[in-house]
Structure 1
């Protein structure tokens, strides 16, 4: 009798998880308001338009305590003036797509993006992986590459 009750309880838990459970609410780490200052802090310059000599996309997925973090839109885009200005490293939406659009081909890092976002991977105690390969050390040193997915898992 006890085994049946245990089995029934387990089936109920599994069924509710599979069919009725909702995903955890995303964590919000807002985009900063001081875009030009954050871009300068990342060692980058604002551009009057999106440059296209270098144009790549990297996907960023972030988790905090196991819950997803939404990557905000407009990180690295200053819309305070009559015409938007762009960092060579920016987001347009909340999909986690990082746009690297530069006047020259060079390495851009996750650390530069996180600085623009105003989030410290060290303070958040993040570890990273690229394309499912766990990386040792500071994830802010990850170089952004076209088509790759970077996952940060933070506490």
Structure 2
């Protein structure tokens, strides 16, 4: 009886996870798309570097076109459609608001008005500074 109850609960939660809609359409798999780019993202909350979690945009049910594998901040951009993705797309996949960073640097160059529309390109580095980021 207890095993049946636990199995039912496990199935319920698995179904809940499986029915959560991804922010972007899932891709067919790793490395099989039109391109595979990498952008380094560093976020600072005050003077402290914020750890970007591993496996953003990756689950047992879906691999989103912008995702992380580990906690280094390296964003993988893989697509099987001809489309560019933005830092705002990554934040949507992550489930965090882009908010209002006080400073944004792309390849070391300050962007006068930080924007979630900045495109993620291969071998690029993006640095975001927030007064507070959680």
**Secondary structure of the residue that 1:75 maps to in structure 2?**
coil
Q: Which has the higher Rg, Structure 1 or Structure 2? A: 1
Q: Does 1:78 align with 2:59?
A: yes
The TM-score with structure 2 as length reference comes to 0.75
Partners of 1:35 and 1:76 within 8 A in 2:
no
Contact kept, 8 Å, 1:35 with 1:75, in 2: the verdict is no
Counterpart residue number, 1:109: 86
**Aligned-residue CA RMSD (Å):** 2.0
How far apart in 2 are the matches of 1:35 and 1:142?
Answer: 30
1:53 aligns with 2:19: no
Q: Where in structure 1 are there 5+ consecutive unaligned residues?
A: 1-33
1:39-81 deviation per Cα after TM superposition (whole angstroms, max 9, x unaligned): 33xxx202342233111000000001111001111100013xx
Cα offset, 1:111, TM superposition: 0.3
How many residues in Structure 1 have an aligned counterpart in Structure 2? 113
Moved over 6 A (4+): none
Q: Measure how far apart 1:137 and its partner are.
A: 2.1
Residue 39 of structure 1 corresponds to which residue in structure 2?
A: 22
Cα distance change on mapping 1:35 and 1:70 into 2, 3 Å: farther
- Cα distance in structure 1, aligned partners of 2:50 and 2:121: 21
Larger relative helix fraction: 1
The normalised TM-score by structure 1 is 0.66
User: Which sections of structure 2, spanning at least 5 residues, go unmatched?
Assistant: 1-16
Q: Which residue is equivalent to 2:48?
A: 67
Q: Is the 8 A contact 1:38 1:115 kept in 2?
A: no
- Are the aligned partners of 1:38 and 1:116 in contact in 2 as well (CA < 8 Å)? no
Residues 36 and 46 in structure 1, CA contact (< 8 A), matched pair in contact too: no
